[in-house]
Amino acid sequence: MGTESFMQLAIEEARKSKTPFGAVIVKDNQVVQRSGNTVQPDNDPTCHAEVNALRQLTKRLGNASLSQGYTLYTTCEPCAMCAATCLWAGVQTIIFGVGADDFADTNPNMINIRCEEVFRRSPKAYSIEGGLLLEECKQLHDDFPIEDL
């Protein structure tokens, strides 16, 4: 599988959760975890797709810290909470579809702290790339408006 295939899986997770937010974690070119956003059904504001995927994976592995080599694919740029969770869990690479600037006007809850800014403040090495399948990820915001969450 390639990067676009992994992002397509994240898009599928977003659609399953009926939100614009889906995430897939990959290691050694294999999907190890998938999740969508469950904030509303779980009545938990921390149940973002990225956090859900990390919770499920670390629970299954029995370790809160991931070893090297994990990549998170997510339909939207991680918020500050999700970025910090990725950092603390040991995710070194984040690849997202829609950047915060692309959907700030459609997300009334957006905090203007970019994912890159959170990672820059850490001594850990990281890689962040945005814009993968941008149009498909933007479409999720039209299909599942934030105010409906």
Annotated active-site residue 12? The verdict is no
Residue ranges in the chain assigned as alpha helix (H):
3-17, 39-42, 49-61, 80-89, 100-103, 115-120, 134-143
User: Which residue out of 50, 117, 135, 136 is catalytically annotated?
Assistant: 50
Of 52, 147, 146, residue with least CA distance to 98: 146
Q: Which bin fits 91, alpha (ψ -120 to 50), beta or left (φ > 0)? A: beta
- Whose tokens are 């990672």? That residue is 119
Q: Which residues are catalytic?
A: 50
